[in-house]
Amino acid sequence: AAWAGDLPSSSSSSSSSRPLPPCQEVSSTWSLTWSLPRGRGRAFSCASGEYLEMKNQVCSKCAEGTYSLGSGIKFDEWDELPAGFSNVATFMDTVVGPSDNRPDGCNNSSWIPRGNYIESNRDDCTVSLIYAVHLKKSGYVFFEYQYVDNNIFFEFFIQNDQCQEMDTTTDKWVKLTDNGEWGSHSVMLKSGTNILYWRTTGILMGSKAVKPVLVKNITIEGVAYTSECFPCKPGTFSNRPGSFNCQVCPRNTYSEKGAKECIRCKEDAQFSEEGSSECTERPPCTTKDYFQIHTPCDEDGKTQIMYKWIEPKICREDLTDAIRLPPSGEKKDCPPCNPGFYNNGSSTCQPCPPGTFSDGTKECRPCPAGTEPALGFEYKWWNVLPGNMKTSCFNVGNSKCDGMNGWEVAGDHIQSGAGGSDNDYLILNLHIPGFKPPTSMTGATGSELGRITFVFETLCSADCVLYFMVVKNIYSSWGEISEEAQVTDKVQGILTCRKFLCKNMHQRFINDMVKIYSIIATNAVDGVASSCRACALGSEQSGSSCVPCPPGHYIEKETNQCKECPPDTYLSIHQVYGKEACIPCGPGSKSTQDHSVCYSDCFFYHEKENQSLHYDFSNLSSVGSLMNGPSFTSKGTKYFHFFNISLCGHEGKKMALCTNNISDFTVKEMVAGSDDYTNLVGAFVCQSTIIPSESKGFRAALSSQSIILADTFLGVTVETTLQNINIKEDMFPVSPSQIPDVHFFYKSSTTTTSCINGRSTAVKMRCNPTKPGAGVISVPSKCPAGTCDGCAFYFLWESAEACPLCTEHDFHEIEGACKRGFQETLYVWNEPKWCIKGISLPEKKLSTCETVDFWLKVGAGVGAFTAVLLVALTCYFWKKNQKLEYKYSKLVMTTNSKECELPAADSCAIMEGEDNEEEVVYSNKQSLLGKLKSLATKEKEDHFESVQLKSSRSPNI
């Protein structure tokens, strides 16, 4: 009888709830069985608020200060780990129990009780929270949780006593929740032994801290009975027998464990929050304990400044260093109305009628012809809270802030109020029914429908965070903002509400605040106008001065007429007025037919040294993949970076897909094997973190933290710089060829705190004939993750398909020998060959030719004739030379016979046939070459000689 119903050392339930080691170490298990008393033919099942009295075998009501679920057990108190729960840490496939010596990195890894909930580990160890229960009938397990950070994997699954996963654990991955909100998870349980696992694994990359998983209110239904009731936890009470739950103590009261009633705190000296287990001394009042508000404007345009204590008031004014509440009632001039509103002499600002506009200081005026109101909301004066805004407070532990007001208006800004604890979230909600594009933008593909812009400032003594959340009919998303900035959010779809949420991270700094100075929402449905803008004129719409422009058309400023954007330009999504709204596409790209986006058709042309290079990357247009690594976290967890690259996309459509939390991360099977695209991100380049199956004991590879690296195509060029994206030459090895590399440039439109200009991606396409087909994609050795700063990513894609198309400059001809009057000419590629496809090699050419014997005969004849001619010329010039030498010798002898006396004439006349031997030639002695030259030119020149004849007269004459 002592063992019937419960193990003596366990918590009060009929389950076997002892700590269990992991299944791979279990060699045997204890099972709990019992026999019913004689005469009982059924199992006991007590109602809620009752327990089984073992002695009499009857169900009795629980006493005051306790409660019971009847056939269930509940764990809602986490000051320490309840009996039956155990922590098991796994590090690099090594399992260690609670009492074992864990590896250095996992000594302190465990689920940590935090009072109202239990918190998971924050490191990259795998820690399982385990509870075993034996059910006599089918039941269920239910728990509430917060899971906001996908840097942690959170799974819940069930095993039987044979360490086999049960069918109900098919979908074991728990879904993410929004910040500050509790989600719930429920799984059916079968009768018999059920071992419950809550398992988390952190994937830490970099120094960013992860947000832990929180779990509370674990309830298990299906046990046969409970043998005793559970005491109420501190801060709750039960004042009547047979309770199935405990009530929360009201404010300024407290209770201890198992209380029948709550005890009041000392008035004016102590206070407590709702559900407190003790009272706290009231501190002296400070300037942080009150706030000021502005009353609505009166007929004189005045507003009163009023001061109020923050409720509930917890401070004391009677202490020495306490301050008093400043006097209220001071009057000041009212601030002007917000743009789009006007003051008609009443105490409130009214929205301008449709078709009119106002800057808030003047009356509403109608828009002139050819213009339309620029609808939206702009709030920059905070005298009263706008009608479409509301403020509230949310507490993580108690689901309410006990009457706190949240955000407060303060003239030129709205500020977050003081929080009561570090679990308070102060929420500002802006409701906008939807976004409607202006008439001039209708029909534009992928146009921006609306934009939210707000300017804020954080005034914090420690860590505090401002969150920004979009709640739409499609999805919800949170964005964390932690510094002073101007934040802009693009909206596509119908918006139901906006939330600005301030979270104080430390309770001792609950008075830190965030100020928002202005909020602007454009193109809002039912919005007001602060100005008018030009629009396209036409007569198609009766009663309207504006008509829609077709897609890809801008509004000409001079005539307000629609004009199509020039070729290879795309229409800006921010404005459509003037030709400057058509933005030129980058080099090597063209625009779609509707001028909505630029894209590459995978063809590229480049002129190099009077040579034209044509590239065709169409065979590489399908998605290329790269998984590099492995990399390791500081604790040794292995992971890989997996990249998908869509080089050209498909006419602007992004073809690369990445996903979260799947077992198969290949693109082909990802798309073909699932119709659920909610976790997919599409881009030109995207990245996922892959945790292999052999790491951390996972049964299948997991993909997480998928991010978009590039969603906008910039251009194609051989240059290494485009739009501030620079590829350093030392990032990759130098190309062995003279063929220039081609660079594809992309960017991401999403900005982060670390990448204020967004992420950028450059893909270097390199010709490599040794790598056919899809080739090989690699990252720089200096940056093994593809990036060195987390913002600029670089890839090298080597393939034969990246070579230019072949031209006539890529081959040469080889002439063969002339045989039998015919000669062959062959064409071969230049080696090494750095081209593909393009033109083909010409066929070999056959031409007629003369043989060598004929030319030998011709050569011999020419040689013989030349030899005879040379001999004849030699003889002729030799004879001439002899005759000249004789004349010269005779002249010299005659001249030297008598000084200054001419020789006497031998005769008075020249005989026929004789030469004149008295001819005097004045010349210097020449060389043989000079003589030959003179003789050769004698007959060609008009030559005159002076000759002094002899005289027979006396010299005296």
Contact 117, 78 (CB under 8 A): yes
Mean pLDDT of 54-83: 86
Q: Which helix (H) or strand (E) holds 672?
A: helix 667-673
Structure tokens at 99: 């009492």
Look at residue 763 and tell me whether its pLDDT is greater than 90: yes
Given the DSSP bridges, would you call strands 845-848 and 725-726 parallel, antiparallel or unpaired? Answer: unpaired
Which residues 6+ apart lie within 8 Å of 98 measured at CB?
Answer: 19, 86, 87, 88
Q: What is the pLDDT of residues 182-210, one digit of tens each?
A: 889 988 888 888 899 999 888 776 556 67
Residue among 785, 805, 779 at smallest CA distance from 624: 779
Residue 953 has pLDDT above 50, yes or no: no
CB 6 within 8 A of CB 227: yes
Query: Residue 335: is its pLDDT beyond 90?
Result: no
For 679-736, write each residue's pLDDT tens digit: 567 788 988 888 776 555 555 566 677 788 888 889 999 888 887 788 877 788 888 8
15-19, 54-58, 615-619, 806-810, range with the lowest pLDDT: 15-19
User: 138-152, 645-659, 878-892: which has the highest mean pLDDT?
Assistant: 138-152
- Count CB neighbours of 172 within 10 A: 15
Domain boundaries, the chain: 72-93+106-223, 364-530, 532-597, 603-662+679-803, 804-862
Q: Percent of the chain beyond pLDDT 90?
A: 13
Q: How far apart are CA 228 and CA 67, in angstroms?
A: 9
HSE-up (13 A, CA, CB side) for residue 2:
2
Which of 744, 746, 776 shows the shortest CA–CA distance to 617? 744
263-267, 299-303, 790-794, 897-901, range with the lowest pLDDT:
897-901
Q: Considering only residues 227 and 169, tell me which one the structure prediction assigns the higher pLDDT.
A: 227
pLDDT at 245: 87
- The CATH architecture annotation of domain 72-93+106-223 reads Sandwich (2.60)
What mean pLDDT is predicted for residues 873-896? 79
Q: How confident is the model at residue 145 (pLDDT cuts 50, 70, 90)?
A: very high
Q: Which residues contact 163 (CB under 8 A, 6 or more apart)?
A: 23, 24, 26
pLDDT over 60 (residue 910) = no
Share the mean pLDDT of the chain. 75
Phi, psi of 805, deg, nearest 5: -70, 145
- Per-residue confidence band for 480, with pLDDT thresholds at 50, 70 and 90: very low
The total of other beta-carbon atoms located within 10 Å of residue 865's CB is 10
**Whole-angstrom distance between the N-terminal and C-terminal Cα of the chain?**
189
Q: Quick check: helix, strand or coil at residue 497?
A: strand
Question: Would you call 409 helix, strand, or coil by DSSP?
Answer: strand
Given this model, what pLDDT does residue 110 score?
87
Residue 798 is predicted with a pLDDT of: 93
DSSP of 820-885, one letter per residue?
A: TTEEEEEEEE-SS---BSSSPPPPPEEEE---HHHHHHHHHHHHHHHHHHHHHHHHHHHHHHHHHH
Dist. CA 614–CA 637, nearest whole Å? 46
Q: What is the mean pLDDT of residues 510-518?
A: 76
Phi/psi at 808 (5° precision): -70, -15
Residue 477: name the closest of 454, 461, 493 by CA: 493
Provide, rounded to the nearest whole percent, the portion of the chain with pLDDT above 70. 72
How many whole angstroms separate alpha carbon 925 and alpha carbon 763?
85
pLDDT of residue 921: 45
Please tell me the distance from the alpha carbon of residue 787 to that of residue 795, in angstroms, as a whole number: 9
Would you say residue 95 has pLDDT above 50? Answer: no
Residue 188 host element (H or E): strand 183-189
CB atoms within 10 A of CB 136: 17
pLDDT at 499: 58
pLDDT mean over 858-866:
85
Among the listed residues 214, 249, 219, 215, the one whose alpha carbon sits nearest the alpha carbon of residue 234: 249
Does residue 261 have a pLDDT over 80? yes
Q: How far apart are CA 232 and CA 76, in angstroms?
A: 10
- Residue 145, judged by CB atoms within 10 A of its CB (0-12, 13-18, 19+), counts as buried
Block residue for tokens 């980058």: 586
In terms of pLDDT, which residue wins out, 5 or 186? Answer: 186
pLDDT at 39 over 50: no
Structure tokens at 136: 């006599």
Q: How confident is the model at residue 655 (pLDDT cuts 50, 70, 90)?
A: confident
Tokens in use for 57? Answer: 């075998």
Question: What does the block give as tokens for 337?
Answer: 């109305």
Cα–Cα distances (Å) from 878 to 331, 927, 940, 941, in that order, read 137, 13, 20, 22
pLDDT of residue 260: 93
Write the CATH number of the domain with boundaries 364-530.
Answer: 2.60.120
Q: What is the dihedral of CA 253, 255, 261, 262, to 10 degrees?
A: -10
Residue whose C-alpha is closest to residue 664's, from 639, 621, 699: 699
- Whole-number pLDDT of residue 923: 46
C-alpha to C-alpha distance for 730 and 449, rounded to whole angstroms: 43
pLDDT of residue 29: 39
Question: Are the CB atoms for 197 and 85 separated by under 8 Å?
Answer: no
pLDDT of residue 639: 82
Angle at 348 between CA 342 and CA 350, to 5 degrees: 40
pLDDT digits (tens, 9 = 90+) for 361-400: 888 999 887 788 888 999 988 888 888 888 877 766 555 5
Q: Name residue 280's beta-bridge partners.
A: 271
Pairing mode, if any, of strands 760-767 and 792-799? Answer: parallel
Do residues 381 and 341 lie in contact, with contact meaning Cβ atoms separated by under 8 Å?
A: no
Q: What is the C-alpha separation between 90 and 106, in angstroms, rounded? A: 8
Would you state the pLDDT for residue 716?
92
- Lowest mean pLDDT of 224-238, 281-295, 434-448, 868-882, name the range: 434-448
Task: Name the band, by pLDDT with cuts 50, 70 and 90, for residue 22.
Answer: very low
Give the integer Cα–Cα distance in Å for 601 and 597.
13
* pLDDT for residue 412 is more than 80: yes
Under a CB-based contact definition with an 8 Å cutoff, are residues 90 and 98 in contact?
no
| Residue type, position 33, single letter | T
The residue that leads in pLDDT, 442 or 734, is 734
Output the CA torsion sign for 172, 175, 180, 183: negative
Residue with tokens 């991360």: 665
HSE, side-chain direction, 13 A CA sphere, residue 386: 26
The reported pLDDT for the residue numbered 55 is: 79
How crowded is the C-beta side of 204, counted as CA atoms within 13 Å? 20
pLDDT at residue 28 tops 70: no
155-173: pLDDT as tens digits: 898 887 766 666 655 567 8
Model pLDDT for residues 519-571, shown as the tens digit of each residue: 988 888 888 998 888 777 654 444 455 777 788 888 888 777 888 899 999 88
Q: Summarize pLDDT for 604-643 with one digit per residue, the tens.
A: 998 877 778 899 998 888 888 888 878 877 667 778 888 9
pLDDT tens figures, 338-358: 999 987 766 678 899 988 999
Structure tokens at 249: 């103590």
DSSP class of 644: E
- Residue 918: count of CB within 10 angstroms of its CB: 17
Task: Kindly report the CATH class assigned to 603-662+679-803.
Answer: mainly beta
Rg over CA atoms, the chain: 50
Residue 82, pLDDT above cutoff 80? yes
Q: Which two tokens stand for residue 135?
A: 């059910």
276-290, 413-427, 442-456: segment of lowest average pLDDT = 442-456
CA dihedral 180, 182, 183, 184 (to 10 degrees): 170
Domains 364-530 and 603-662+679-803 fall in the same CATH topology: no
Strands of the 192-202 sheet, one edge to the other: 94-96, 85-91, 126-135, 192-202, 152-159
CA 672 to chain centre: 25
What is residue 764's predicted lDDT score, i.e. its pLDDT? 93
State the Cα–Cα distance between residues 174 and 825, nearest whole angstrom.
74
pLDDT band at 927 (very low <50, low <70, confident <90, very high): low
pTM for the model stands at 0.64
